[in-house]
């Protein structure tokens, strides 16, 4: 639906009569369901992803994955993915991380970093491990030929966010087809119910297809590979009610179990990896459930079980978390903001609870070979703690907790102490070669996230569970600071690749955001020691006291001290204005609010918005505006009509064709709203909401930020 139409709906909805009286509590079902996304035509940018946090299935307007080629070429691909599904290509040459090393001068010492990502070894190490797509289920005609978009009309499709239930209706030739689709909240199962006379007459069939994987040389949004060679699909058993398959690709194995209610003939169709299911003529209703698992003999839920379990899960999710309601607002943007909030809550929940923290496109499609970019973990999961779903935050942080020993080994190898977190990781916690190892703003995230969890549950149990993670992370941060013999202050870098990824990593030092994050992280780590009745770490205190000041030029903060050209070089204003995070995402350690106010003004007026600006930049800037008590600016930038800040009907934030969705945008939006509405320690009420009479905002359950 175009923005102009959504704007008109907002005006109608929120232009309420004078004297309207709110109920004591928010009607959560009404709040959620008024944003149920609805389609009346094929929209390749808005397929709907159903999932349980660890497993997801993305469907087109048929409720399945029928128009896969069209969506892959022009929008968001239709894929089935699980966070446990990974593949490692054979490594006959035995590449090891040290094969990608370069020795970089680090304050007089040559330290090896795996920054050679373009060599043969570097490429293999970067591309492996990589995520793999699972099977596809689609409609076909009686001959097994795929349905064509031209033959589909009168589409009406709705995702019921309150129940997680997708209903699809369309005409295929002269036949009405109704499809109900859910992903079971308890098992990795897709459950589908189909009603159509075309089923009764044997004209409509189903296909199950299994791709080999992705072309791993493609970094983002790679197409699925459908070749015959290099993988196997073995039929363990089949009958007229089910088929049980084992999929193998090198050392990757997973199992597929499909059951259907009515009898059907199932045969291979033109390929060992392609199956045709022809339902026996019946009443016209056909149910099928398909389970994916890395374990044998994992039975799927029935359609009724999946529907009930999923409905219960989503109603509990919506009822137990925080909520924000803009009913009564007359600002034309209020309805759109509410829509983005609800859909972002949904999208992050269906994709952000897997065995490995998510990649930036979640479980809808592959990006960065499925790797988790650890600098994004705050954007991905901090909002859950702020919105009353801290179990998602804890789940992601637990991955770090389980890999402390590997992080300590990495730190030792770099001549550091404590635990050094790699920037980009797969299932194996190994660094990926390239510029990645020089990024550092991922390092304090575990401390910041642990602090949010403690604020939610301030108990000794919380302290004990995360204390080693906090302490070892802080210890490494301390060891990454170097004493400058001339100025007698501690500096950060070089080498360092800052969040604004445009500067020479081997020469960069003292970036504003990272310096403030180092101060905040070490302060929080000291507070954790005090909570546990331990003495403060004297080395950390020494470095906190001697830490370099945040770099300033002409009354404004700049990105880095080593090249303070932010405001004199237009080319330095084309990427994340990350220095704003020092007083936005962070509470402003060592920040002068008036200097930050001038800095924010400079960004709003001089940044190159048509360049390399990403979906998380807009909420990030809004957080800074809210902390500075600039609510109008916070709303304006949060909803700025600009590249990288467009939210489709399904709630995904489109970036570019090879990155058609970007979940850090959704997560950062939710964190920004939590700050703008729920506030932060010592803030005024709703610091990011304009007090101009056009905004009426009620909220329940939001947690304050530090």
| Residue 370 and residue 426 in contact, taking contact as beta carbons nearer than 8 Å | yes
> In which band, very low, low, confident or very high, does the pLDDT at 193 lie, cut at 50, 70 and 90?
very high
Please indicate whether residue 572 or residue 24 has the higher confidence score (pLDDT).
572
Q: How many whole angstroms separate alpha carbon 98 and alpha carbon 104? A: 14
Contacts 24+ apart (CB under 8 A), 22-26: 22/327, 22/328, 22/698, 25/700, 26/323, 26/325, 26/698, 26/700
Model pTM?
0.95
| Residue 495 and residue 104 in contact, taking contact as beta carbons nearer than 8 Å | yes
Other CB atoms closer than 10 Å to residue 417's CB: what's the count? 16
Q: Is the pLDDT of residue 167 over 70?
A: yes
Which SS3 state, helix, strand or coil, does residue 540 take?
helix
What pLDDT does residue 24 have? 58
Residue-wise pLDDT tens digits, 54-107: 999 999 999 999 999 999 999 999 999 999 999 999 999 999 999 999 999 998
What pLDDT does residue 19 have? 32
Interstrand relation of 152-160 and 252-260 (parallel, antiparallel or unpaired): unpaired
What average pLDDT score do residues 225-230 get? 91
DSSP 101: -
Average model confidence (pLDDT) for the chain?
94
Q: How many whole angstroms separate alpha carbon 100 and alpha carbon 116? A: 5
Whether the link from the prior residue into 423 is cis, omega within 30° of 0, is no
Region of poorest pLDDT, from 20-29, 64-73, 625-634, 690-699: 20-29
**Burial tier of 198 (Cβ tally within 10 Å: 0-12, 13-18, 19+):** buried
Burial of 168-187, coded b for 16+ CB within 10 Å and e otherwise, reads bbbebeeeebbbbbbbbbeb
The per-residue DSSP string of 367-419 comes to: BGGG-EEGGGHHHHHHHHHHTT-HHHHHHHHHHHHHTHHHHHHHHHHTT--S-
What pLDDT does residue 611 have? 80
Please report the beta strands in 418-530, taking only residues with DSSP state E, as ranges in sequence order: 424-425, 481-484, 489-492
C-alpha torsion 91→96→100→104, nearest 10: 170
CA–centroid distance for 563 within its chain? 32
User: Residue 609 is encoded by which pair of tokens?
Assistant: 């918005």
C-alpha torsion 317→319→321→325, nearest 10: 120
End-to-end CA distance of the chain: 38
- The architecture in CATH of the region 35-88+132-317 reads Distorted Sandwich (2.70)
CA–centroid distance for 390 within its chain? 16
Q: Is the pLDDT of residue 565 over 80?
A: yes
What pLDDT does residue 13 have? 45
User: Residue 500 is encoded by which pair of tokens?
Assistant: 């604004």
Residue 576's Cβ-side half-sphere holds a number of Cα atoms within 13 Å equal to 23
Say what percent of the chain tops pLDDT 70.
97
Contacts of 304 (CB under 8 A, 6+ apart): none
| Residue 147 and residue 117 in contact, taking contact as beta carbons nearer than 8 Å | no
Q: How many whole angstroms separate alpha carbon 67 and alpha carbon 542? A: 61
Other CB atoms closer than 10 Å to residue 208's CB: what's the count? 22
φ/ψ (deg, to 5) at 461: -60, -45
Which helix (H) or strand (E) covers residue 355, if one does?
A: none
Contacts of 108 (CB under 8 A, 6+ apart): none
Q: How many whole angstroms separate alpha carbon 350 and alpha carbon 183? A: 10
Residue-wise pLDDT tens digits, 498-508: 999 999 999 99
> In which band, very low, low, confident or very high, does the pLDDT at 582 lie, cut at 50, 70 and 90?
very high
User: Residue 170 is encoded by which pair of tokens?
Assistant: 């369309």
Please report the beta strands in 449-598, taking only residues with DSSP state E, as ranges in sequence order: 481-484, 489-492, 552-553, 556-557
What average pLDDT score do residues 252-274 get? 91
Q: Is the pLDDT of residue 209 over 90?
A: yes
Radius of gyration, alpha carbons of the chain:
26
- Which residues lie across from 56 on neighbouring strands? 51, 81
What pLDDT does residue 393 have? 98
In terms of Cα–Cα distance, which of 302, 305, 304, 342 is closest to 322? 342
Other CB atoms closer than 10 Å to residue 268's CB: what's the count? 12
User: Residue 210 is encoded by which pair of tokens?
Assistant: 């299994």
What average pLDDT score do residues 398-426 get? 95
Whether the link from the prior residue into 502 is cis, omega within 30° of 0, is no
| Residue 79 and residue 364 in contact, taking contact as beta carbons nearer than 8 Å | yes
Residue-wise pLDDT tens digits, 421-469: 999 999 887 899 987 899 999 999 999 999 999 999 999 999 999 999 9
What average pLDDT score do residues 614-631 get? 98
Other CB atoms closer than 10 Å to residue 359's CB: what's the count? 28
> In which band, very low, low, confident or very high, does the pLDDT at 374 lie, cut at 50, 70 and 90?
very high
What average pLDDT score do residues 512-522 get? 98
User: Residue 281 is encoded by which pair of tokens?
Assistant: 């003529």
Residue-wise pLDDT tens digits, 7-61: 444 444 444 323 333 445 999 999 999 999 999 999 999 999 999 999 999 999 9
């Amino acid at each position: 639906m175009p923005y102009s139409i959504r704007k008109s709906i907002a005006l109608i909805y929120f232009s309420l009569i004078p004297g309207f009286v709110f109920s004591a509590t928010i009607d959560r079902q009404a709040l959620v369901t008024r944003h149920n996304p609805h389609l009346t035509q094929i929209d390749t940018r808005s397929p709907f992803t159903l999932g349980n946090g660890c497993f997801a299935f993305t469907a087109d307007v048929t409720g399945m994955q029928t128009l896969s080629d069209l969506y892959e070429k022009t929008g968001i691909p239709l894929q089935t993915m699980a966070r446990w599904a990974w593949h490692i290509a054979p490594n006959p040459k035995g590449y090891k991380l040290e094969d990608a090393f370069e020795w970089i001068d680090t304050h007089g010492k040559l330290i090896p970093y795996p920054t050679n990502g373009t060599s043969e070894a570097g490429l293999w190490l970067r591309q492996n491990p990589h995520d793999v797509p699972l099977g596809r289920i689609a409609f076909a005609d009686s001959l097994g030929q795929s349905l064509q978009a031209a033959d589909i009309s009168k589409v009406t499709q709705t995702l019921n966010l309150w129940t997680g239930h997708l209903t699809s209706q369309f005409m295929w030739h002269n036949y009405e087809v109704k499809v109900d689709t859910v992903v079971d909240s308890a098992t990795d199962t897709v459950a589908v119910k189909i009603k159509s006379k075309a089923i009764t007459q044997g004209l409509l069939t189903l296909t199950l297809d299994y791709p080999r994987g992705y072309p791993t040389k493609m970094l983002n949004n790679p197409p699925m590979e459908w070749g015959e060679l290099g993988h196997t699909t073995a039929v363990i058993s089949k009958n007229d009610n089910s088929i049980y398959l084992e999929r193998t690709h090198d050392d990757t194995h997973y199992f597929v179990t499909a059951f259907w209610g009515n009898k059907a003939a199932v045969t291979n169709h033109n390929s060992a990896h392609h199956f045709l299911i022809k339902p026996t003529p019946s009443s016209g209703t056909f149910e099928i459930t398909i389970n994916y698992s890395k374990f044998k003999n994992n039975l799927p839920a029935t359609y009724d079980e999946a529907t009930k379990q999923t409905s219960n899960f989503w109603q509990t999710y919506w009822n137990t978390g925080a909520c924000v309601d803009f009913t009564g607002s007359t600002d034309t943007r209020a309805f759109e903001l509410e829509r983005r909030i609800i859909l972002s809550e949904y999208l992050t929940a269906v994709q952000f609870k897997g065995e490995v923290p998510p990649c930036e496109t979640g479980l809808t499609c592959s990006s960065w070979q499925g790797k988790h970019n650890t600098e994004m973990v705050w954007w991905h999961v901090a909002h859950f703690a702020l919105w009353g779903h801290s179990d998602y935050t804890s789940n992601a942080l637990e991955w770090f907790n389980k890999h402390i020993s590997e992080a300590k080994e990495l730190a030792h190898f770099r001549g550091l102490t404590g635990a050094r977190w790699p920037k980009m990781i797969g299932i194996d916690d190994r660094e990926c070669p390239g510029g990645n190892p020089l990024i550092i703003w991922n390092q304090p995230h575990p401390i910041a996230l642990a602090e949010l969890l403690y604020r939610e549950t301030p108990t000794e149990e919380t302290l004990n569970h995360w204390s080693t993670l906090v302490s070892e992370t802080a210890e490494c941060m301390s060891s990454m600071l170097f004493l400058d013999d001339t100025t007698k202050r501690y500096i950060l870098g070089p080498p360092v690749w800052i969040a604004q990824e445009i500067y020479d990593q081997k020469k960069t030092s003292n970036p504003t955001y990272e310096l403030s994050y180092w101060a905040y992280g070490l302060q929080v780590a000291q507070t954790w020691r005090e909570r546990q009745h331990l003495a403060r770490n004297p080395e950390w205190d020494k470095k906190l006291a001697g830490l370099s000041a945040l770099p300033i030029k002409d009354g404004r903060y700049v990105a880095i001290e080593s090249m303070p050209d932010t405001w004199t070089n237009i080319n330095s204003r084309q990427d994340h204005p990350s220095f704003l995070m020092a007083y936005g995402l962070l509470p402003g350690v060592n920040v002068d609010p008036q200097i930050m106010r001038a800095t924010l003004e400079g960004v709003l007026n001089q940044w190159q918005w048509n360049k390399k600006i990403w979906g998380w930049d807009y909420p990030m800037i809004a957080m800074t505006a809210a902390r500075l008590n600039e609510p109008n600016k916070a709303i304006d930038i949060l909803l700025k009509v600009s590249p990288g800040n467009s939210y489709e009907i399904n709630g995904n934030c489109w970036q570019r064709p090879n990155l058609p969705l970007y979940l850090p945008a959704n997560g950062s939006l939710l964190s920004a709203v939590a700050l703008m509405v729920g506030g932060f320690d010592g803030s005024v009420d709703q610091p990011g909401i304009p007090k101009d009479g056009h905004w009426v905002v009620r909220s329940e359950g939001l947690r304050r930020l530090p």
